[in-house]
Amino acid sequence: ALILGLESSCDDSAVALVTSDRQVIAQRVVGQNQAHAPFGGVVPEIAARAHVEVLPGLVTQVLDEAGIALAEVDAIAATAGPGLIGGVMVGLLTAKGLALASGKPLVAVNHLEGHALSPRLVDPALGFPYLLLLASGGHCQLLEVRGVGDYRRLATTIDDAAGEAFDKAAKLLGLPYPGGPAIEVLARQGDPTAVPLPRPLVGSPEPHFSFAGLKSAVQRAVAAGSHRPADIAASFQQAVVDCFIDRTRRALQASDAPSLVVAGGVAANSAVRAALQQLGADEGRAFSVPPGWLCTDNAAMIAWAGAERFAAGLIDGLDAPARARWPLDERAEAVRGAGV
């Protein structure tokens, strides 16, 4: 099947055409960093307006580039949440318009399911179930992915998300938004053992996460003025990696899932990727991580989740709601082991 996917839940407008046999036919991502830069973070109203201006043109460009007519597409998938509600509404309503005009079915995709299933787009050997560390701008969770729409949440963050921690630490260091890539680059010139920083919740029995205390410690280290910024960046990144490893190991010990996966924007970080890969080897699990472009927000993962849901017979009506909040482990109509 051929699936058109739309993503607009944060500050990236994205459109992709993906097949159920894992071909990314065409895709475009247009970010809005310049529009939000003066404000030091994403402004929801500005984001929504930018999606209105950009998204329909991206649909045309992607279809043209692929040489595909809308009539040849089998389904139209769009992020229906969670995210900044204005942007979600723009993308979902654009998809509804396309579905209405073409008579093709709509697939309303949970953005987190897009991240969760993204590794399967590039790794055909990755079957269900797998243990997923989902580390993104708004989330930090450990989930057992049992099938399309079938998720069991083992742990979450009790305060900040992992990507949020990177963004806040970057801001404290005077680095631009988004902070993750900037911290990663600066950390390469730093000593990860130079600045003593806490590893919140490490060693606790439940595999939950916490990053607020780490951020406060970075704030104190910056204020002290006695450390090189590169050393703070490297030490911060190492602290996050150490939390990931300890918490994920704990979850693996309670799960017999044969594979370990890390996805979401923070999985683009090479220190995170290397450490999780080593953990998988140590714990005797297969390891999978999507390429960087598939970790940060994109529409190929939404089209792919749409392909998986479409294959499982999960399509949605034109009354599908846009949802600011939408936990991944909530779906009632789970189809265990189904999908492409």
Residues forming the site for Fe ion (CB under 5 A) = 136, 297
63: which residues sit within 8 A by CB, 6+ positions away?
Answer: 4, 17, 26, 69, 70
**What are the helix (H) ranges across 133-228?**
162-172, 179-187, 212-224
How far apart CA 140 and CA 158 sit, in angstroms, is 9
> Residue 31 CB, nearest distance to ligand ATP (Å)?
10
Q: Residue 29 gets which letter from DSSP? A: E
Give the count of alpha carbons within 13 A of 173, CB side only.
32
Could you tell me if 335 and 96 are in contact, meaning their C-beta atoms sit under 8 angstroms apart?
no
Which residue's CB is nearer to ligand ATP, number 73 or number 245? 245
> Residue 250 CB, nearest distance to ligand ATP (Å)?
22
* Length of the chain (residues): 340
How far apart CA 82 and CA 8 sit, in angstroms, is 10
210 is in an annotated binding site: no
Which uninterrupted H or E stretch holds 90?
A: helix 85-102
> Residue 205 CB, nearest distance to ligand ATP (Å)?
26
Which residue's CB is nearer to ligand ATP, number 83 or number 190? 83
Could you tell me if 287 and 277 are in contact, meaning their C-beta atoms sit under 8 angstroms apart?
yes
Which residue's CB is nearer to Fe ion, number 198 or number 292? 292
Q: What would the x/- binding string for ligand ATP be over residues 104 to 143, using CB under 6 A?
A: -------x---x--------------------xxxx----
> Residue 277 CB, nearest distance to ligand ATP (Å)?
15
13 is in an annotated binding site: no
Which residue's CB is nearer to ligand ATP, number 32 or number 136? 136
48: which residues sit within 8 A by CB, 6+ positions away?
Answer: 84, 86, 87, 89, 90
Binding to ligand ATP (CB under 6 A) within 38-97 occurs at 83
Contact call for residue 207 and ligand ATP (CB under 6 A): no
b/e map of 99-120 (b: 16 or more CB within 10 Å)? beebebbbbbbbbbbbbbbbbb
Question: Strand 259-263 to strand 286-288: parallel, antiparallel, or no bridges (unpaired)?
Answer: parallel
Q: What would the x/- binding string for ligand ATP be over residues 234 to 273, using CB under 6 A?
A: ------------------------------xxx-xx----
Binding to ligand ATP (CB under 6 A) within 292-311 occurs at 296-297
Which residues would be at the binding site for ligand ATP (CB under 6 A)?
A: 10, 83, 111, 115, 136-139, 163-164, 166-167, 178-181, 184, 264-266, 268-269, 296-297
Q: What residues are designated binding site?
A: 111, 115, 134-138, 167, 180, 184, 269, 297
Q: What residues are designated binding site for substrate?
A: 134-138, 167, 180, 184, 269
